[in-house]
Chains A and B, each alone.
Chain A
Amino acid sequence: MSASGLPYHLRPRKFVDRELFAEFVAQLLSSEGSENYVYISMGGKHLSDHRSLYRRTAIQCLYSFDGNQDIVAHQNYFKPFDGVCCEELYSNELAGKIDSILGRFSKTNAIIWLDYTASISATQLDEVSTLIGKLRPGDVLRVTVNLQAKDRDQMESVLPLAQRTMAELTADYIRNITGSYLRETTKEVAASRIDLALSECLEAAFVRGLSQTGYVPIPVLLTKYTDSTTMFVATVLIQEGEQPQVPLGWRFVPSDWQDILLIDLPDLTPSERYRFDPVMHHTVEEISAILGFNFVNADELDRYRRFHRFYPIFESVAS
């Protein structure tokens, strides 16, 4: 799942995002029972998310797939224990395999993560829509999408000619690559809020896919972070009714599809964190007085505290 070539577990924002997800799954399974579930995703060479979910949730049935047979061979050789099943499969084949995967493990429900590294496209959204149509109440689907940056000339070259502001151009460009998944009423997309457009597209894919079954995709975690591009991640719980039935202790439920949690960590080395943690409970002004210089602003401090327990620490990296 490495978009940038960096080992997955050394990308701190993605790490925090994954840990948040693992926490949600742990809370869900504490009431639903991990014995009913199988976890499915493209684990990458290191099966990092599989390991994380195993540690956090005790979920025993873990399935990884990849279209590259060398990666699958690597996974199978280095997998942490025998309960992890690694197979060669393309993402567009997954929808047709869900029932057989559940059957193989004798489980009733699935938790699935599709992590797309290529820029968002109608093809990806069609896959998501097809896959979610196979899911049932109690299942969880998580999808990561991104939009790779293009300059004005690059976007305009693939569009019908028109005079447009940058925000209008971005909206038309996203519509050009996603089709009617982007709402007809969305005429502008600000560069700083591409995540809103990605959220809109994913919401449409989820709803479209579930339209035949009548089930509802309840967003339980919506996050965005920046690696080389803006990543947007939506996690939904499939339910029968509109009223969200999320675990009581889960504090990150979004109020709607625009309520997106930004994961933006201050850039601190382990030794800096070691020295900062004892004072992080103070106010911004007090911290500045203690350290002798302006170290963080209010937003950064708030984010640091909010995600503090999810940060990668030495033990997490070493595994």
Chain B
Amino acid sequence: MTSSARDIRGGPTKLFFVSMLTKDISLMDAILDLVDNSIDGAMRSLGDKMSDANSLAGYFCKLTINSKLFEVLDNCGGIPDELLDTAFQLGRPRLEADKNIPTIGMYGIGMKRAIFKISESAGVVSKSCTKVASVSYSRDWLNPDNDSWDLQIEESAVVDEERGFKIGSNDLRPEISIQFGKADFINSLRYKIGEHFGYLIERGFLIEVNGDPVSPRVAKLMFNPDKNVLPYDFSATIGGVKVKVTIGFFRQLTREVELEEATESNKDTDLNQSGITVICNDRVIVASDTTALTGWGVGATPKYHPQFRAIAGVISFFSLDATLLPVATTKHDLDQSKESFQIARNMAMEGIVLFTSFTNRWKGREQETDAILDRHEIKPARSIVLAEDAKLGSVSRVAPDARKFMPELPKPASSSRVRRVAFSRDATEIKKMAEFLLGKPDANPGDVGVAAWEDALVKMDRK
């Protein structure tokens, strides 16, 4: 055969994007991506004012979700003219497009991927200051066998004051329609939105699902200088990313009876707020983590245990260049290879050790700490500034501008000589002892153990 050369197609197929790419993301995460885009719009609209504490007040993203309709509506400014032509492309041709916005979206696929996942056809309308632009993703366009990537954009003049973005579909994929019809799905979505965007909701951004505002779930820590109960705090700039780590107590210490219950049930609930939350540009990437991901059980740091339920913390990353953040492409996982993440995790481990040691020092005397861990002295974790306080924080050598604050937590007046005595005995024996010592055959085994010990002490003293 004589050699020859010819052109073949090396580009992507519609099938890949419409059917395959959508498998990489869960339905819930796809919806979160759309809310995220609204927030980016709000940030763009704010410009210089975006760092103010309550700067997102007045902006909203309203979701309408049921078995027949999916709609996302915001008032966050719409797509700027200069981004209009490329906003509907799959992938971002210029990574500088949102260079000065604290976003976490980098690759320009969130909106499109969500539309492909949810609907058989959808419409998008953007209302900016200068024009109204609408694009329709028809069934024919979304057909994987149709390899045309051309979209028609209709543009017209602005006729009202609304500035925002709307995605709507009443042509849902059948399997999505079933999910959207379930109250449990909507409930889980609400909790997830409250967790993922809690810090942005606290800054005033309103997110509604089917007319009901979502409540934020954010970390708050005890802050009581008078009683020396302050969080561990660290801040630095690493690899172009502002890093902050704050660890402390958010409730009173775990009691014995809670530990017994935890042993029997063996798990915390899915809304547990103990553990470390990782935030990138105000979005929660990982919530209430109690695994090695945030340092628990790594090296000398204790593994998470219900004894440590009172401990919570936040690792926060901020950068106007989203590519520097330790967030994976899905936006719901971490890039653990980034130096900023590795240093932040090490600092979190320092904080965890500090507070777990406190619980060990006061073990058996948890009730005495109630007066110290005053539940009225609380502050949002992210508002706490201790490391950067010139009088309180000190230099840390991990990075050029790194500073750290290590609180001197209260210690028991006498070092605790309390030790835990724990053993297992046959249930029939326990019942007999309970009847004999307490007159109550179904008394709590812990109470029976204490009664038996005290009885033995009395006999010992008499000898």
Write the nearest CB–CB distance from A224 to chain B, whole angstroms.
22
Task: Name the residue on A nearest B428 (C-beta).
Answer: A70
Interface size on A, residues (CB 8 A): 27
Contact of B187 among A122, A162, A180 (CB under 8 A): A180
Which residues of A are found within 8 Å of B34, using beta-carbon distances? none
B222 contacts chain A at the CB level, 8 A cutoff: yes
Contact check, A180 vs B265: say whether CB atoms are below 8 A apart: no
Q: Bound state CA distance, A245 and B220, in angstroms?
A: 49
Write the nearest CB–CB distance from A122 to chain B, whole angstroms.
4
A98 contacts chain B at the CB level, 8 A cutoff: no
Q: Bound state CA distance, A70 and B270, in angstroms?
A: 35
Which residues of B are found within 8 Å of A179, using beta-carbon distances? 269-272
A207-B269 CB under 8 A given contacts A184-B191, A185-B212: no
A121-B250 CB under 8 A given contacts A160-B273, A204-B184: no
Binary per-residue interface labels of chain B (343-382) against chain A in the complex, 1 for a CB within 8 Å, 0 otherwise: 0000000000000000000000000001000011110000
Q: Bound state CA distance, A202 and B182, in angstroms?
A: 15
Which residues of A are found within 8 Å of B220, using beta-carbon distances? 160-162
Which residues of A are found within 8 Å of B252, using beta-carbon distances? 157-158
Residues of A188-213 whose CB lies within 8 A of B = 204, 207-208, 211
A158-B258 CB under 8 A given contacts A175-B271, A177-B269, A180-B271: yes
Contact check, B269 vs A184: say whether CB atoms are below 8 A apart: no
A122-B267 CB under 8 A given contacts A157-B370, A161-B376, A184-B214: yes
Contact check, A161 vs B378: say whether CB atoms are below 8 A apart: yes
Contact of A184 among B182, B187, B375 (CB under 8 A): B187
Contact of A211 among B182, B212, B258, B312 (CB under 8 A): B182
A180-B188 CB under 8 A given contacts A160-B220, A160-B250: yes
B251 contacts chain A at the CB level, 8 A cutoff: yes
Task: Name the residue on B nearest A123 (C-beta).
Answer: B265
B183 contacts chain A at the CB level, 8 A cutoff: yes
Contact check, A178 vs B269: say whether CB atoms are below 8 A apart: yes
Contact check, B251 vs A160: say whether CB atoms are below 8 A apart: yes
Binary per-residue interface labels of chain A (160-190) against chain B in the complex, 1 for a CB within 8 Å, 0 otherwise: 1110000000000001111110011101000
A159 contacts chain B at the CB level, 8 A cutoff: yes
B323 contacts chain A at the CB level, 8 A cutoff: no
Contact check, A161 vs B222: say whether CB atoms are below 8 A apart: yes
Which residues of B are found within 8 Å of A178, using beta-carbon distances? 269
Contact check, B250 vs A185: say whether CB atoms are below 8 A apart: no
A184-B190 CB under 8 A given contacts A159-B251, A161-B222, A161-B251: yes
B215 contacts chain A at the CB level, 8 A cutoff: yes
Which residues of B are found within 8 Å of A161, using beta-carbon distances? 220, 222, 250-251, 375-378
B1 contacts chain A at the CB level, 8 A cutoff: no
Contact check, B378 vs A162: say whether CB atoms are below 8 A apart: yes
Binary per-residue interface labels of chain A (246-257) against chain B in the complex, 1 for a CB within 8 Å, 0 otherwise: 000000000000
Residues of B244-262 whose CB lies within 8 A of A = 250-252, 255, 258, 261
Contact of B270 among A68, A122, A157, A211 (CB under 8 A): A122
Contact check, A204 vs B187: say whether CB atoms are below 8 A apart: yes
A259 contacts chain B at the CB level, 8 A cutoff: no
Which residues of A are found within 8 Å of B271, using beta-carbon distances? 175-176, 179-180
B427 contacts chain A at the CB level, 8 A cutoff: yes
Which residues of B are found within 8 Å of A208, using beta-carbon distances? 184
A207-B184 CB under 8 A given contacts A160-B251, A160-B273, A180-B191: yes
Write the nearest CB–CB distance from A286 to chain B, whole angstroms.
47
Contact check, A5 vs B442: say whether CB atoms are below 8 A apart: yes
Q: Bound state CA distance, A177 and B370, in angstroms?
A: 21
Contact check, B270 vs A180: say whether CB atoms are below 8 A apart: yes
Write the nearest CB–CB distance from B307 to chain A, whole angstroms.
13
Where the two chains meet, the residues of B that have a C-beta atom closer than 8 Å to any C-beta of A are 182-184, 187-188, 190-191, 194, 212, 214-215, 219-220, 222, 250-252, 255, 258, 261, 265-267, 269-273, 309, 312, 370, 375-378, 427-428, 442
Interchain Cβ contacts under 8 Å between A and B, 12 examples: A123-B267, A158-B251, A158-B252, A158-B309, A160-B220, A161-B376, A176-B271, A180-B188, A180-B270, A183-B187, A184-B190, A185-B187
